[in-house]
């Protein structure tokens, strides 16, 4: 994308009908470290890569519990993500105070999307620079949504966002058909494998990734490091043989990966993302 005269303001359209500021916000999401989500009929797993800035610092928190039945993983400007998850928590608390029942996930993502849209239509605001993978369980089943800075939201069987997420997406596309009936543990395993794909050769350790699960009879919680390490060890031995072969065809070839898994999630060069 090039710098041009239509990108100073979010309230300025380009002649091609694009809002560049919003697209730049989506770029910010792509710069953040990877986050992935996948779901079965009864469980949803969120995972993310934790990259600390230096050895001296701790890593940023990218997975937030919103309520017992909803959790969110973010990629992009983590500060924006923190603020949005505080908003989501508030909404959940207010809803369950008034209606004595958990807030349906679909409603929450719509409210979130509307909040994001407001920032694309005010000259004194800027779009949120964070993409959210909202995982939630309600009466209608298990759901995984992706909320864009543009104010769009999509429901997914499995998705990955952030830097090097294309590798994870390729992996998920190959396997997504089995997810519906996967057991909880298989789902977590698949999540860890997908995370490993984004690391591009680095060894997968529990210290550089975080995994969270929500499901039927299981409130949203982040798995402990030891548990995660055990699962990694369990399949590392098997996975190593599979690993090199599963390495993705490098070029993120435009468009053709838009299989059923991503309901229009992949971006083609030159096409405004908001068209999807």
Shortest spacing between CB 92 and other proteins, in angstroms? 8
Q: What's the Cα-to-Cα distance from 221 to each of 4, 68, 71, 215, rounded to whole Å? A: 45, 8, 8, 10
Give the separation between CA 175 and CA 160, rounded to whole angstroms.
Answer: 13
How many angstroms from the chain centroid is the CA of residue 193? 16
Nearer to other proteins by Cβ, of 67 and 190: the residue is 67
CA distance 246 to 111: 38
- d(C-alpha 130, C-alpha 133), whole Å: 10
Interface contacts to other proteins, rule CB under 8 A:
65, 86, 89-90, 93-94, 97
Shortest Å, Cβ 70 to other proteins: 12
In terms of DSSP bridges, do strands 153-155 and 158-161 run parallel, antiparallel, or are they unpaired?
Answer: unpaired
Q: Which residues contact residue 26 at a Cβ distance below 8 angstroms, ignoring those fewer than 6 apart? A: 131, 148, 149, 150, 273
Which residue's CB is nearer to other proteins, number 97 or number 124? 97
Q: Is the Cβ of residue 82 or residue 115 nearer to other proteins in the bound state?
A: 82
Nearest residue (CB) to other proteins, 93 versus 254 = 93
When the beta carbons of 41 and 86 are compared against other proteins, the nearer one is 86
Sheet (strand 130-138) strand order = 63-67, 70-76, 130-138, 141-147, 153-155
- Kindly tell me which of 65 and 175 has the beta carbon lying closer to other proteins: 65
Minimum distance between the CB of residue 93 and other proteins, rounded to whole angstroms?
Answer: 5
Least CB distance from residue 65 to other proteins, whole Å? 7
Which C-beta is closer to other proteins: that of 91 or that of 197? 91
Helix (H) or strand (E) holding 64: strand 63-67
Q: CB of residue 250 vs other proteins: minimum separation in angstroms? A: 41
> Which residues sit opposite 144 in a β-bridge?
135
Residue 159 to residue 131: CA distance in whole angstroms: 12
CA torsion sign for 184, 186, 190, 196 is positive
Q: Least distance to other proteins from the beta carbon of 214, Å?
A: 16
Closest distance to other proteins from the beta carbon of 268 (Å): 39
């Amino acid at each position: 994308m090039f710098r041009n005269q239509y990108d100073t303001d979010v309230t300025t359209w380009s002649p091609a009908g694009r809002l560049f500021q919003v697209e730049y916000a989506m770029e910010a999401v792509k710069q953040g470290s990877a986050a992935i989500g996948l779901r079965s009929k009864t469980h949803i797993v969120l995972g993310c890569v934790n990259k600390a800035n230096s050895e001296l610092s701790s890593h940023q928190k990218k997975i937030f519990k919103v309520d017992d039945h909803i959790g969110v993983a973010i990629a992009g400007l983590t500060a924006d993500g923190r603020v949005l998850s505080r908003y989501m928590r508030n909404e959940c608390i207010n809803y369950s105070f008034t209606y004595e029942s958990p807030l349906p996930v679909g409603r929450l993502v719509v409210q979130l999307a509307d909040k994001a849209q407001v920032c694309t239509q005010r000259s004194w605001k800027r779009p949120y620079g964070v993409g959210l993978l909202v995982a939630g369980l309600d009466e209608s089943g298990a759901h995984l949504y992706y909320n864009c800075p543009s104010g769009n939201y999509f429901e997914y069987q499995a998705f990955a966002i952030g830097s090097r997420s294309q590798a994870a997406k390729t992996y998920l596309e190959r396997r997504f058909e089995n997810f519906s009936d996967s057991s909880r543990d298989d789902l977590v395993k698949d999540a860890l494998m997908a995370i490993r794909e984004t690391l591009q050769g680095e060894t997968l350790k529990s210290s550089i990734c975080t995994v969270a699960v929500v499901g039927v009879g299981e409130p949203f919680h982040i798995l402990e490091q030891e548990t995660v390490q055990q699962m990694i060890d369990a399949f590392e031995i098997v996975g190593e043989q599979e690993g090199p072969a599963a390495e993705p065809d490098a070029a993120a070839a435009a468009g053709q990966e838009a299989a059923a898994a991503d309901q229009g999630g992949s971006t083609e060069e030159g096409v405004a993302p908001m068209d999807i």
